[in-house]
Amino acid sequence: MASIQEATIPLRFWIDEEKNSVIVAEASGDFVDVLFSFLTLPLGTIIRLVSKNQPQQPLEIACINNLYQSVEKFNTNVFWNRICPQMLLSPRNPSEASCQRLKLKVDDTVPTKYFVCEYCLKGIDLLLSTFDGASCYCGKLMSKEMKVQEESKKNGSWENGVFVREDAMFLIFDDLRVLQSSPGNSVQQLHQLGYKDSTR
């Protein structure tokens, strides 16, 4: 039986013991890659993930929650086809291939598959869909899965990091401001927050 490896990402914290709160965290590019991957998530995915993880107290993002719930509750016969609600409720991340390399994956969307019409497969104008059973312009359904060549690895491993260098160090503040870690940045930011004397 294959074992599941847990991803570990080391963090260091500066803590205000009087207020019992974290002032700033220092982390490698692996952690910052995960934070920055939030910016690639489609809005529909964010609503779905937040609602799934906080069903009792859903996070309200303006009125977008209402839009999402409307699509969920509609009868399928109001849509052009059965794929339309799938596209709206589980939209594709344009950076999906990069996000698959993150040490911690936040998006649980099923990886994209590509489908073509087997009748038009040898034609010049091949139509491609990310949804199984979409209609081809010939009138048939696109249900033949096509394998796509994956991003290549160098020397058996991925490049150094996804969005930022894996070996770079960063400071992350409680307002999600991210700075490159350096003695100057650390001291200056801590002074701006009112901490004149600080130790790690």
- The pLDDT value recorded for residue 198 is 52
The Cβ of residue 34 has, within 10 Å, a number of other Cβ atoms equal to: 20
Instruction: Map out the domains of the chain as residue ranges.
Output: 11-41+161-200, 43-91, 102-149
Q: How confident is the model at residue 187 (pLDDT cuts 50, 70, 90)?
A: low
- The pLDDT value recorded for residue 41 is 92
- The pLDDT value recorded for residue 112 is 87
Backbone angles phi and psi of 90, in degrees to 5 = -135, 65
Residue 138 and residue 150 in contact, taking contact as beta carbons nearer than 8 Å:
no
Residue 115 and residue 145 in contact, taking contact as beta carbons nearer than 8 Å:
yes
Average pLDDT, the chain: 81
Mean pLDDT of 155-172: 79
Task: Name the token pair of 180.
Answer: 């490159």
Is the pLDDT confidence value at 78 over 70?
yes
Is the pLDDT confidence value at 199 over 80?
no
Higher pLDDT: 7 or 33? It is 33
- The pLDDT value recorded for residue 33 is 94
Closest Cα to residue 8, out of 23, 27, 21?
A: 27
Chain segment 82-122, per-residue pLDDT in tens: 888 988 988 888 888 888 888 888 888 888 888 998 888 76
What's the gap between Cα 81 and its chain centre?
27
CA angle at 107 for the pair 6 and 35, rounded to the nearest 5°? 75
